[in-house]
Every structure is written in structure tokens, then in C-alpha cells.
Structure 1
Amino acid sequence: MEGADRERTEAGFKVRTPVDEARRILEEAVTGVTEHDETVPCGTETIDVDRADGRTLAAPVTSARDVPHYRRAAMDGYALRAADTFGASNRSPEVVQIVDAPDGAGEDHAVADHIEPGTAARVHTGSALPDGADAVVMIERVTELESVGELEVEDAVAEGENVAPIGEDIEAGQSLYDAGHRLRPSDLGLLRSAGYGRVEVVEQPTVGVVPTGEELVAGDPGPGEVIETNGLTVSRLAQRWGARATYRDIVTDDHESLRVAIQRDLTKDVIVTTGGSSVGQRDLLPEVIDDLGDVLVHGVGLKPGHPVCLGIVQDTPVLALPGYPVACIVNAVQFLRPTLRWLEGTTPDPHPITRATLERKIPSEPGTRTFARVRLEERDGGNGDTDADEPPYAAIPTRASGSGVLSSVALADGWVVVDDDREGIPAGETVSVELWEHNA
């Protein structure tokens, strides 16, 4: 072992940067500012609304028109003047003339454009109200006298009753969304209604995902070989988080090969490597990153996954994630996910959480943020005996240790975060379970 290798492997991680501090350092490097501002490092593009699901708005959006843009019937019935129904009841109905009565019972017919006092026109839910009408009486509250073309109205209605006015849903010029809003399917419908066929969004960040390790194989493994999973998982997580990820072939633990792999992807917005990030003889990535650019953080106070290396090369963030699968996933969530949001000019949304009672103790070291994988079991509350304040679930740790055991996270429902200042969480305590895989 040469001098540099010996120094690296013997040093270990004497100092581990707290998670929040590591994120602050990384954010400053990604955005070029010390506080969040409105810059969008990724740039913007204008796309069709029907392709904008999951995309982030680059500019505020206001409605281009009233919705609805006409007075419409809110019920099936008859449009008429409210004054013509004054005093109407089932014992003493008011009689009006039907305009454009159907030729045959049960057939559809067009709505009249205009009604005079003492007349009514058949309307359906969503129909435009004829000029002269100011209310709709429900079909259940009238009797049609088809033989004479008259309508007995059995219920008095007020002006505007059962009528959706212009702009009831949205008014022209109304603010709909701020810049940075991530569009959902329901938003797309609202944008279409508000007059938008295209919308300006932030360009999707691009990510190069490079799995490393001479022991990795893509196919069936032989003795001493391991199937590559980290690159696959991280690339798909990046896509779920709104990025366009390129999943690269495996790169062996060779200084020059790693250098070439990183230089190749400097056209991406982010480079993520998996494996080779610790301090062992074959953990070359921190040196390669340092040779090409700057190592910002090496070694973070989190478990599993403290041997993460965060760097910057030619203004491109390089995240060297640990090779153990669980450690790799934890670090991807803690550092890659926020990096993608910063590149979009936004901040990451918190994960959805659920309350649960911890079934077994979770150990943790002070100064280390622990992500304990748990599965959830619904408590038996079917008999109504469960206290309303009692959490609806029990949280059962899937494994207290073993960052290489992929099933401990893949078969879990979420994780419990033990803060840096706590020395574990005792059984029976109510905890918040982060459902980290349930959103973007």
C-alpha cells in the first residue's frame, strides 16, 4: 500500500459534518448564493399543458378568462324569471308557457336563446341560460302539461337560484399559481379552463448516474460478484423527482476510468456516482473529485450512509453516494432530491408522515441522524375501543443495522428519523414515520 492510500485508509472519518450543515454547503455550491432567491439554474421552456404534469411553473399564472364565461344552469330544470314563480307551491302552482317544447316526450331539445315574461325554457346542467331568465326551477318541482305547452311551477325560486354566474369558478385576471408550483393533474384541468394551452415551466434537471465497483455485474453474478442495483434505483428516483436521468454502464475502480466517467457527464446538471466514496483502498472517488474540482464535504453524520462525498466540478455538483444499497438510498433522498429542487429554483417539500407507536427501541448515537426503517401495522380499532388520541399504526423496525440489506428498506413503509441530539427512541413512544417514497 502506497503512502497516500495508507493515509486515507488509516485516517477514517474523524469529523463528520452534520446533515443540515452538509446540505447548506451543497445548496450554496449549487445555487451560488447563501440564501434562496428566485433564480432558476436549469432555465425554462414552454410546453403543452397536457404534458406538464409534475413540472414546475417558471412564472406566476393568472386566469386568462372567466370560468364559466357564460351564465349556466346548475340543475336540470326550466330557466325562467324568478318573479314569475312568486307564491308558487304544490297546492297553488304558477303556470308559465314552455318555449321550444320538445316534439316528443323524452327527446333532447335545444335551449331557447331568449324568454319573455311568463315563459320558461328547458335547460340541462351546464346549459347556457337564455337571455331574460334569471333562475332555474328544478325538474322535480314542476309538472309539464305537454298537451297545452304549459308548465306548472310548484316551488318559488329566488333570482340567481340554481344558476352559476359568470366567473363563479375563476375570474379573469385571478391569481392561480405562483412560480415554483409543481403541477398536478387537477392543475392541468384548471389551466385548460382558464385559457392556457401552453405553459412556461422549468426545464427538467439532467442527471448522470454512474455505478462504480469492480465487483459489480449487470447479469447473473459469479462468486464474489454483486448485481448492480444502486444505479438503477437512483436513476429511477431521480426521474420520479422530476429529472431526466441517464443510467450509465458500470465503471471499475480505476482512477483514470472514474475521471473519464465524471468528465463525460459534466454536460449534465448533476452527476451521481454510487460506490467508492469511503476511505478504503478502492474508494477513489473523493480523490478523483478533488483532482477535477473541489470536495465540499466528505463524511456526514447520518446513519446509514456516513461515507458520502459531496463535491463540485466545473460548476457541476458531484454526489458520490455509498455503495451499500440502504446507505445509497438514504443519501439520495437527503442530498440528490434537494439538489434537484434547488436547480429548479424551489425547495423540497416535506415528506408525508403518519403517526405510529414504536414497537421496539431504536438505538442511535448522539451527533448522528439515524434513519430507522419501519413497517406499519394498523392497530385494531374496529370495536371503537381505541383512544382517539392513540396513533392508528404500530411502527415495527425492519432492521436496526445493516446498510447493505436492501430488503430492509424495500419492504418497509417508511423510516423514523432520530435527530442528531437524541440517543435513540424507546419502545412505546409516538413517532412520525416519513413516507419518503410516497411523493416527488
Structure 2
Amino acid sequence: MKIKEVDEAKKIIKELFEELYDEKSINFSIENSYNQVVFSDIISSIDLPPFNRSLMDGFAVKSEDTFRASDESPKILKCIDSIEAGSFSEKTIDNGECIEISTGAPIPDGADAIAMVEFTERKTDEETGNDNIHILKSVAPKQYLAIKGSDMKKDKLILKSKTILSPDKIGVLAGQGIKEIKAFKKPTVAIISTGNELVMNDEEISYGKIYDVNTYSITNATISNGGYGKSYGIVKDNYDDLKEKIESALKTSDIVVCSGGTSAGVGDVLRHVLDEIGEVIIHGVSVKPGKPTIIGKVNEKLVIGLPGNPVSALIIFYVFIVPNLRNLVGLSEEIIEKAIATLAKRIHSPKGRMHYSLVQIKEGLAYPIVKDSGAITSLADADGYIKIPKTTEILEEGKEVEITLFK
């Protein structure tokens, strides 16, 4: 293995993503657009509201007809029509007239304000039989009106590219009558676990076997960071089987991620498979855990070899793959959640290699999880990981650290 430094490996992987993958879009109905990422700016096609509308139940009036109105000296107006939400009146209000109106209904011609129903009284004129409305409180021009376009003007920016669609944002699109949005297309990531000792969680476990962890953790890390994770199951430590599985996965996926089979030991065959069907770009990174990481290229697609140990596999995936995956689907690397905490205990780190150490957060303190990289209980305890530079051998208790969260 020709070991790469962490920064060099990150640079190579970033350049490979840029070389091999373009940002692509796909259309979604807004009903199915939750959590999708907007591909290009969305511009309003109509004014909101699309007409002058009432903000209150009451009466549409000429505001000048209500000046100095009070309980003791009400202004009396003739009611000439009634408008429910969803309908409109063809009548025009003249001085001394009003129209009964519901919240959300269009303002009739001639009106410039709404007198709230709470400050009116309806009385019938005994001589004419007409409804007369007694206005008990004056209103100002445009009072309780929503003016056309006051919320949003036509041809204005609604949502920027790379906005994540949440329920409130989807509601805004629905208010514009938008049926379909263009979102970033998510790459499909095939996940393959290798190892004679592995069984899936729906199989019977026997002596010498262990349940596969990486299929589930890497699949869900892919989903939570913008991709589609697709499990291809377990492959034994067999050259032909692994080769066949990778070639099959490449036909239906954009990226293939294998866990296990990356070190130089007996039975670790991924390197040899990649040498035959493609090329190995990186084999070995100066990092703990995860030194035997492999980055290969086959048919203009990436094939990534993660260590078999669950902790190593997840950390390497987050450190080297997740930032590029997020960028590809319009999610900024900075959106990855981080937290600041104070180190609760001293950590010893191997000098000469970048070290990523799992920690648990409790009441603002970061507790190091000191277990080997095959201990899956450390994943149950971990909230995230911290980065320790290769020149640092000891992080003292009480030091403030930045934690990348597994979210």
C-alpha cells in the first residue's frame, strides 16, 4: 500500500467526484417533494394574494363614511350585497353603502377598508325593509385589507437553488399553484459487505458467525446525506463472487461501496478485483481507524473499499465520502451537524496518523469511547467523532473540541 495523507486523499476523492459525476435534476410532484433539494431557483408566477382580499369578517366600506363613528354616534350604511369566500360581487359601493364580506373574499369595487363585524350592529329599516349597518368604530383606508401582491409579487424569487423542501416551503409552492418541482437527482449507492463470517439479520446465527452491521449503517448514512442506499447483501471472501457482485452493482448504481476485504491479509481480495476490472487510485490512508481504505474507478464510476470493522467503516464513510455526496446533491458540507463540547477525559492518540475518535455527549461534556473499532456497542454509545491531528499525542481533559454528529 502506498499510504496517502488525509488531506491528499480528500483532495483526490473530491477531484474524482467532480470528474465522474455531474449534478443532475429530476422532477417531483409537490406531494412527493418533502426533503428534496431544489435544483434551480423557483420564481413566482402569480401575485399573492391574486386580488385585494378581506382579512376579517365584516363589511366592505368607504373608510370616509366611518370617520368619527362611535357607540354613541354610529354611522349608518345601507348593505347592498353579501360576499362569501370564493365568490365576488359585481356591485360597486357608493357613499352611504356597504357590502357584507367574509374573511378571504375579494374586496368589491368602491371599498377601501373593512369594518369588523364586532364593531357593527345590523338593524332593519322598518319603512324600507333594508338592512342598515350601524358602524360603531371608524376605520382607516386599507384597514384589514390584504392588497394584491402584498405577500408576493409575480416574477419574484420564491426559493433559491439548494433549498431543502420542508412542509412550510412546500406550502408556499402550493400557494403558487405549482404542481411539480425540479430537484437534485440523488445518486444510487450500492452497499456490499464482504466476509465469510457475516450473516444478515434475518438469518440464523451460528458459532463463528456475526451479524452484518455495515450494510445497515452505511445504507442509512447514505440516505441521511442525500443519496439512495441500496443493499447488495453479503459476499464471501471469494474473488469471482466479489467481482460478479461489483459488476452487477455497477450496472444499476452510481457508486459502489464495499466494506471489508481492503487490507493486505489473506482473503482480502478487493484490491485484486479492482486491478482487473478497473484501477486503484488510493490504497491506504494515514488515518486511525481506517488505514486500509481503497478508492477505485471502474467504468467511470467510483468503487470504494471501507474497512470491515463497523466503527472504521462508518467514520471513513463520513470523513471521505459524505462531504462529496452532499455536494453532489446540493447539500453543503457545512450542513453536517456539529457540536462544541468540553473533553471529559484525556485522550491518547497515535502520533503520525490523523485520528478520529468516537465520543458521547452528556451535559455539554464529550466522553471518549475507548473500544476497538470492531466493538459495535461503541456505535450505540457514540453521538459523533472528533478529529485529532497527526502531530497531537494527547488531548487534555477540559479542552474544547468540535464534534461531527452522526445525523
Give the structure-2-normalised TM-score.
0.87
Alignment partner of 1:73 is 2:89: no
Aligned to 1:155: 137
State the Cα deviation string for residues 147-194 of structure 1 (Å, max 9, x = none): 443333343332222222222222111122333433333222222222
Structure 2 matches for 1:37-48, cutoff 5 A?
41=22, 43-48=24-29
Partner secondary structure for residue 221 of structure 2: helix
Q: 1:434: which partner in 2?
A: 404
Partner of 2:115: 137
2:102 and 2:109 map into 1 onto residues whose CA distance is 16
Q: Tell me which residue corresponds to 2:106.
A: 128
The 2-side partners of 1:283 and 1:173 are apart by 59
- By how many angstroms is 1:72 displaced? 1.8
Task: Show CA shifts across 1:320-346 (max 9, x none).
Answer: 111111111112222332343344466
Per the alignment, in what secondary structure is the counterpart of residue 327 of structure 1?
helix
Task: Letter of the 1:69 partner, please give it.
Answer: P
1:319 and 2:301 are equivalent in the alignment: no
Is it true that 1:294 corresponds to 2:264 in the alignment? no
- Deviation of residue 242 (structure 1)? 3.2
Structure 1 Cα separation of the partners of residues 165 and 9 of structure 2: 29
1:411 maps to which of 374, 377, 381: 381
One-letter identity of the residue aligned with 1:171:
K
Aligned to 1:395: 366
Distance in 1, matches of 2:197 and 2:357, equals: 28
Q: Distance in 2 between matches of 1:109 and 1:250?
A: 59
2:392 equivalent to 1:425 = no
CA contact under 8 A between 1:73 and 1:125: conserved in structure 2? Answer: yes
**1: CA distance, partners of 2:375 / 2:38:** 39
Contact 1:416 1:433 in 2 (8 A): yes
Give aligned pairs, total.
398
What amino acid maps onto 1:256 in structure 2? Answer: D
2:146 is aligned to: 164
Say whether 1:15 aligns with 2:3. Answer: yes
**What whole-Å deviation, never above 9, does each CA across 1:75-128 have from its counterpart, x for those lacking one?**
3333222222223345544333334469xxxx9997645433333333333232
* Corresponding position of 1:4: none
Q: Which amino acid aligns with 2:110?
A: G
Q: Give the residue type in structure 2 aligned to 1:23.
A: K
1:15-414 equivalence runs, <5 A:
15-18=3-6, 20-32=7-19, 41=22, 43-100=24-81, 112-114=89-91, 115-140=93-118, 142-148=119-125, 149-218=131-200, 219-267=203-251, 268-344=253-329, 347-366=332-351, 368-378=353-363, 393-397=364-368, 399-414=369-384
1:418-439 CA distances to partner (integer Å, 9 max, x unpaired)? 35554443222333333331xx
Two-structure CA RMSD over aligned residues (Å): 2.9
Shift of the 109–303 alpha-carbon distance from structure 1 to 2, 3 Å rule, reads closer
TM-score under structure 1 length normalisation: 0.81
Q: Secondary structure of the residue that 2:168 maps to in structure 1?
A: helix
Flag structure 1 segments of 5+ consecutive residues without an equivalent: 1-12, 34-39, 379-392
Query: Normalized per residue, which structure has more strand?
Result: 2
Amino acid in the other structure paired with 1:408? S
- SS of 1:166's equivalent? coil
Deviation at 1:361, TM superposition (A): 2.4
Greater shift, 110-119 or 57-66, is seen at: 110-119
Determine if contact 1:27/1:342 at 8 Å carries over to the other structure.
Answer: no
CA contact (8 A) 1:111 1:121 kept: no
Once the two structures are TM-superposed, the CA of residue 208 in structure 1 deviates from its matched residue by 1.4
- Distance in 1 (alpha carbons) for counterparts of 2:176 and 2:85: 29
Q: C-alpha distance in 2, partners of 1:422/1:119?
A: 83
Structure 2: stretches of 5+ with no match in the other structure: 126-130
2:128 paired residue number: none
- Hey, what's the Cα distance between the residues in 2 that align with 1:82 and 1:423? 77
Q: Residues of 1 paired with 2:400 and 2:57: CA distance?
A: 51
Asked if structure 2 preserves the Cα contact closer than 8 Å seen for 1:30 and 1:342, the reply is no
| Contact 2:341 2:402 survives alignment (8 Å) | yes
The residue type equivalent to 2:279 in the other structure is D
